[in-house]
Amino acid sequence: DADVTQTPRNRITKTGKRIMLECSQTKGHDRMYWYRQDPGLGLRLIYYSFDVKDINKGEISDGYSVSRQAQAKFSLSLESAIPNQTALYFCATSARREGMNEQFFGPGTRLTVL
C-alpha cells in the first residue's frame, strides 16, 4: 500500500465550485505539505503544517485553505475554483529530523477547472 495517498486522483469541476483535495499518510510523519505543479514552473508550495496545530502559508496560498484534521490527514480546499487553478497538486510528508527533511510525495491530483 502507498505510504502517501491522495484523493481524488483526477477531478474536473466548474468555475465557482468548492473543491477539497485530501491527503493521508501512513508514514507517521509530523510534517505535511501541499504543492501545485504547472508546466515549466516546477513545484510551488501552497501550505505546510509541522503538526496538527501548526499551519503555515507557502508561496502561493491565495485562493486556497487547508485543514490538518489529524497527524495523518491534511486536506486542501479551493473555496471558489477558478480556471488558473487548473494544475497538478501534490501532497508530501517529511519527518521531524534535524537537517534530514527529505520529502515523500503522493501520486498527485490532476485538477481541471472549466
Partner 1 sequence: SQQGEEDPQALSIQEGENATMNCSYKTSINNLQWYRQNSGRGLVHLILIRSNEREKHSGRLRVTLDTSKKSSSLLITASRAADTASYFCATDQAGTALIFGKGTTLSVSS
Residues contributing to the site for partner 1 (CB under 8 A): 4, 33, 35, 40-45, 48, 56, 58-59, 88, 90, 92, 98-108, 110
Distance CA 81, CA 113 (A): 7
Question: Residue 48 or residue 64: which is nearer to partner 1 going by CB?
Answer: 48
Q: How far apart are CA 21 and CA 73, in angstroms?
A: 11
CB of 98 to partner 1, least distance (A): 7
Q: How far is the CB of 22 from partner 1 (least distance, A)?
A: 15
What one-letter code names the amino acid at 51? D
DSSP-assigned letter for residue 85: G
CB atoms within 10 A of CB 42: 8
Minimum Å gap between C-beta 70 and partner 1 is 20
